[in-house]
Amino acid sequence: EAQVTQNPRYLITVTGKKLTVTCSQNMNHEYMSWYRQDPGLGLRQIYYSMNVEVTDKGDVPEGYKVSRKEKRNFPLILESPSPNQTSLYFCASRESGRAYNEQFFGPGTRLTVL
């Protein structure tokens, strides 16, 4: 089954404790992206990757890091989480870079930073 998986689905942590949210897709997609979803703000892009070793900032990259060492994986790293990073996070992927291709979303990771 074609899918985007994220782990963990739920995470409660404390300020300053480094964490990684994993994202993996099995569709051989070149383009991958991370979004955060907050009430009343919709989806905002954090980082995206056009292909292996090619990443770039989205609209709200502060406090986040990413890497793309393999085509299928695109982990999101919070080096020193803060309470304002409490949010619902989605990973997404699509074939090639063009936005007219359907974007497939993971199930989401709900992060709470105390």
Partner 1 sequence: AQSVTQLDSQVPVFEEAPVELRCNYSSSVSVYLFWYVQYPNQGLQLLLKYLSGSTLVESINGFEAEFNKSQTSFHLRKPSVHISDTAEYFCAVSPSYSGAGSYQLTFGKGTKLSVIP
**Which residues make up the interface to partner 1 (CB under 8 A)?**
4, 31, 40-45, 48, 50, 90, 92, 97-100, 102-103, 105-108
In the complex with partner 1, the residue whose CB is nearer, 31 or 74, is 31
Question: Toward partner 1, which CB reaches closer, 38 or 79?
Answer: 38
14 versus 40: smaller Cβ distance to partner 1? 40
Contacts 24+ apart (CB under 8 A), 32-35: 32/68, 32/74, 32/91, 32/92, 32/93, 33/58, 33/74, 33/91, 33/92, 33/93, 33/103, 34/58, 34/64, 34/66, 34/74, 34/76, 34/89, 34/90, 34/91, 34/92, 35/89, 35/90, 35/91, 35/92
Task: Give min distance, CB of 60 to partner 1, in A.
Answer: 13
Shortest Å distance, C-beta 82 to partner 1: 23
